[in-house]
């Protein structure tokens, strides 16, 4: 079932909980998928209800917009306590949780270590979408941006702005890239 995921490699997938959709970095070990959740809506949802879906997408903008809670147009389906995005392939199942304390350069926080145990397959199809480095860059910008929101640091901000230049150089055009840059530059204006 999970053979499409190479063991140990991190895949960016969509996690669908009771009230949220967010990208998560998922690693397969054997017949389970593992991911970590930092405090937020999905974290709270999973503590209340461990029934989730994990779906694949090759749409970088969808990953990024759901991470930043920007508007997206998605249709959902519900079945026996689960919900998922119509049309995208994936799995539904339960999550076993361990609450841990996470320490890094951003400080100390709680983290949920999640083990996803699949119960069923969600049928769907990925759109034909040619590979573009611009999409990789957009995703990287968003990962750094979500860290920046937790702890604003000049080094992260400059890295995001550098990546935005590379994104434009590679022909990338996206409202969500503009949104990230506008938040970063507005923060500066507010300080003066």
| Length of the chain measured in residues | 192
Site string for ligand FMN, 140-179 (x = CB under 6 A): --xx--x---------------------------------
Q: Of 14, 28, 35, 51, which lies in the binding site for ligand FMN, with binding defined by CB under 6 A?
A: 35
Query: Tokens 């508007």 belong to which residue?
Result: 71
Binding of ligand FMN by 67 (CB under 6 A) = yes
* Alpha-carbon gap, residue 40 to 148, rounded angstroms: 15
Q: Of 14, 16, 24, 180, which lies in the binding site for ligand FMN, with binding defined by CB under 6 A?
A: 24
- The residues with which 9 forms a beta bridge, in sequence order, are none
- Residue number with CB closer to ligand FMN (37 or 54): 37
Dig out the tokens for 96 from the structure.
Answer: 């076993």
Binding of ligand FMN by 85 (CB under 6 A) = no
66 class by beta-carbon count within 10 Å (0-12 exposed, 13-18 middle, 19+ buried): buried
Binding of ligand FMN by 23 (CB under 6 A) = yes
Residues 96 and 29: beta-carbon distance below 8 Å: no
| Residues found near ligand FMN in the complex (CB under 6 A) | 12, 20, 22-25, 35-38, 40-43, 63-64, 67, 139, 142-143, 146
């Amino acid at each position: 079932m999970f053979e499409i995921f190479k063991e140990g490699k991190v895949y960016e997938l969509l996690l669908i909980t009771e009230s949220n959709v967010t990208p998560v970095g998922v690693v397969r070990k054997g017949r389970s998928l593992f991911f970590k959740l930092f405090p937020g809506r999905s974290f709270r949802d999973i503590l209340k209800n461990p029934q989730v879906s994990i779906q694949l997408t090759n749409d970088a903008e969808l990953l990024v917009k759901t991470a930043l809670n920007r508007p997206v147009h998605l249709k959902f389906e519900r079945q026996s306590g689960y919900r998922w995005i119509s049309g995208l392939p994936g799995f539904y199942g339960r999550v076993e949780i361990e609450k841990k304390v996470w320490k890094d350069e951003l400080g100390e926080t709680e983290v949920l270590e999640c083990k996803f145990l699949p119960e069923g397959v969600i049928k769907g199809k990925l759109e034909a979408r040619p590979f573009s480095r611009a999409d990789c860059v957009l995703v990287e910008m968003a990962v750094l941006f979500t860290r920046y929101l937790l702890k604003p640091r000049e080094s992260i901000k400059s890295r995001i702005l550098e990546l935005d230049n590379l994104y434009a150089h590679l022909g990338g055009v996206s409202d969500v890239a503009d949104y990230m840059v506008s938040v970063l530059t507005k923060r500066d204006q507010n300080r003066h």
